């Protein structure tokens, strides 16, 4: 099991899949079995995006086990996982149904963080076809995440909106992402531990990557380099 986890973390998916499947039937603890099924579904999803049969099989096994033990938060994550598998296989309708189910279940649980994850997933999924609804979802995620101090979902929603705006106006998107970076750096400035500062900056490095990419796209090479230096200053 430990070897499988190590290979999974290192993205050695073929090796980790072999190891997980080898121990799956030997595991008695159903919570651990559900965790393995979830990881196996993710590996199959990565390896076989056009053929969802195996990924869906293990995702459903994971969800059934979580539901059996009343682990509602993990059941919602299972629904999001299944939605992602369905979406990549071309079943957008089925994917959206699963996300709506996930959002409703999270609401019923009163679990804001899980609900925000599901809402962001739906916004990302519908952004191309229904920009207005996607934007509303992202804005709602931003509002709720600020209320509960959930910076992960807050900046994830900001990134989603920036990606949408960028398709129409790169300069406006650049202003938005730079504002987000300023917000992040203000948050980091309040952290005393240097290691924690580095960890937070690393986890949101995608904001800097997006800002640098937009800067390059609009022809501002100097700004792109400065953005990279800003991140390096925090993490070094």
pLDDT digits (tens, 9 = 90+) for 36-65: 999 999 999 999 988 999 999 999 999 999
Listed in sequence order, the residues at least 6 apart from 171 whose beta carbon sits closer than 8 Å to its beta carbon are 218
pLDDT over 70 for what percent of the chain? 100
> pTM (2 decimals)?
0.86
For residue 6, the model assigns a pLDDT of 84
Which pLDDT belongs to residue 151? Answer: 95
Contact 112, 131 (CB under 8 A): no
Residue 76: CA atoms inside 13 Å, Cβ hemisphere, count?
22
Q: Is the pLDDT of residue 7 over 80?
A: no
Q: Residue 101 pLDDT > 90, yes or no? A: yes
Which position has the higher pLDDT, 171 or 235?
A: 171
**Cα–Cα distance, 180 to 10 (Å, whole number):** 30
Domain 1-110: CATH superfamily, name plus number? Tetratricopeptide repeat domain (1.25.40.10)
pLDDT of 1 over the 80 cut: no
Question: What band does 16 get if pLDDT is binned at 50, 70 and 90?
Answer: very high
The tens digit of pLDDT for each residue in 144-160 reads: 999 999 999 999 999 99
CA dist list (Å): 44 to 48, 57, 72: 6, 10, 24
Rounded mean pLDDT of the chain? 94
């Amino acid at each position: 099991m430990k070897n499988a986890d190590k290979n999974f973390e290192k993205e050695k998916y073929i090796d980790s899949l072999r190891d997980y499947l080898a121990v799956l039937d030997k595991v008695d603890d159903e919570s651990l079995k559900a965790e393995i099924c979830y990881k196996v579904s993710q590996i199959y999803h990565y390896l076989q995006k056009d053929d969802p049969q195996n990924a869906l099989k293990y995702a459903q096994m994971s969800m059934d086990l979580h539901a059996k033990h009343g682990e509602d938060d993990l059941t919602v994550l299972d629904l999001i996982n299944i939605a992602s598998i369905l979406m990549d296989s071309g079943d957008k309708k089925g994917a959206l149904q699963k996300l709506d189910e996930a959002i409703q279940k999270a609401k019923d649980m009163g679990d804001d963080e899980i609900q925000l994850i599901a809402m962001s997933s739906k916004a990302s999924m519908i952004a191309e076809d229904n920009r207005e609804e996607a934007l509303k979802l992202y804005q709602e995620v931003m509002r709720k995440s600020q209320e509960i101090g959930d910076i992960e979902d807050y900046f994830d929603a900001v990134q989603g909106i920036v990606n949408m705006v960028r398709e129409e106006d790169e300069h406006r998107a650049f202003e938005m992402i730079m504002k987000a970076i300023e917000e992040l750096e203000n948050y980091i400035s309040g952290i005393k531990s240097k290691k924690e500062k580095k960890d937070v900056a690393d986890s949101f490095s995608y904001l800097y990557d997006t800002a640098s990419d937009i800067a390059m796209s609009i022809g501002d090479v100097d700004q792109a380099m400065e953005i990279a230096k800003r991140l390096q200053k925090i993490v070094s």
